[in-house]
């Protein structure tokens, strides 16, 4: 067997932090570089230069044990250069965890994907987003099915709670927890960075089997400022069942004072 077979990188040390709840499946360095080009009198390109090399690594994990709120990672956490597996120009760089996404769907194992950004040599954590304190109702099972793992929604048939056994079937629930990076790269040299929060989005897809249309509302005790940003919309495919999709959004606000366990 080749020494490079199944050698995915856990760029964000989530396996060690959550062992044995996550198993890394695949990874990507996501290298990029800016370019400049110059043309001659005829408009032909005669010079090309590359500068500003960077990397935005990502790792995909399979969920192999049930996860609770305490298992959610701290966004903004910095992995030291000695452990990051990212080298730019022959020099090891630290990596900051910038966001995660969680995917659940009928017939597939749940997955978590983490992404981040290589930062300047000597860079340290500047801002953090403690997901476990924001999403206290988080609960993710290893079962191969769509799950409302943030506990955000209540689904009703008329005035009564709809039955997930008879009335409907969630086919997918996918969430993205983003943090945005900005880089200081004078003349293409990475010298500093910062990050700020985005908006968490959770997308639902549900098959519906009851004659009465569903009503979707927010559950009690959802995070502050949680909003249904795309109400349930109906589609009726030929030779298929009625399907509804909707989206819930939650602002992601962080802090400049890092927790001791970050």
Where do the structural domains in the chain lie, given as residue ranges?
14-29+55-251
d(CA 132, CA 67): 11
Q: Of 88, 83, 80, which is closest to residue 122 (Cα–Cα)?
A: 80
Claim: this prediction has a pTM higher than 0.85: yes
Low-confidence stretches of the chain (pLDDT beneath 70): 257-262
Contact assessment for residue 93 and residue 118, using Cβ atoms and an 8 Å cutoff: yes
pLDDT of residue 17: 82
- What digits encode the pLDDT tens for the residues 31-64? 999 999 999 999 999 999 999 999 999 999 999 9
pLDDT of residue 16: 86
d(CA 193, CA 181): 7
pLDDT of residue 258: 61
pLDDT of residue 261: 55
What integer best gives the mean pLDDT of the chain? 94
Contact assessment for residue 27 and residue 8, using Cβ atoms and an 8 Å cutoff: yes
């Amino acid at each position: 067997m080749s020494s490079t077979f199944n050698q995915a990188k856990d760029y964000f040390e989530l396996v060690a932090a959550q062992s044995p709840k996550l198993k890394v499946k695949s990874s990507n360095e996501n290298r990029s570089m800016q370019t400049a080009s110059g043309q001659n009198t005829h408009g032909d390109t005669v010079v090309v230069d590359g500068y500003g090399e960077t990397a935005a690594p990502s790792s995909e994990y399979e969920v192999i044990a049930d996860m609770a709120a305490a298992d959610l990672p701290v966004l903004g956490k910095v992995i030291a250069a000695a452990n990051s597996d990212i080298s730019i120009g022959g020099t090891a760089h630290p990596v900051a965890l910038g966001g995660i996404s969680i995917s659940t769907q009928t017939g597939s194992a749940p997955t978590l994907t983490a992404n981040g950004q290589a930062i300047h040599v000597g860079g340290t954590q500047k801002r953090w987003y403690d997901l476990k304190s924001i999403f206290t109702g988080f609960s993710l099972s290893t079962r191969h099915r769509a799950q409302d793992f943030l506990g955000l929604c209540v689904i009703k048939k008329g005035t009564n709670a709809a039955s997930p056994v008879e009335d409907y079937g969630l086919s997918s629930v996918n969430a993205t927890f983003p943090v945005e990076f900005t880089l200081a790269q004078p003349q293409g040299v990475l010298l500093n960075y910062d990050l700020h929060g985005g908006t968490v989005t959770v997308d639902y897809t549900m098959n519906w089997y009851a004659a009465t249309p569903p009503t979707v509302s927010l559950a009690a005790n959802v995070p502050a400022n949680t909003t249904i940003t795309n109400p349930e919309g109906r589609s009726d495919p030929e030779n298929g069942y009625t399907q509804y999709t909707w989206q819930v959004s939650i602002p992601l606000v962080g802090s400049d004072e890092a927790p001791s366990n970050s």
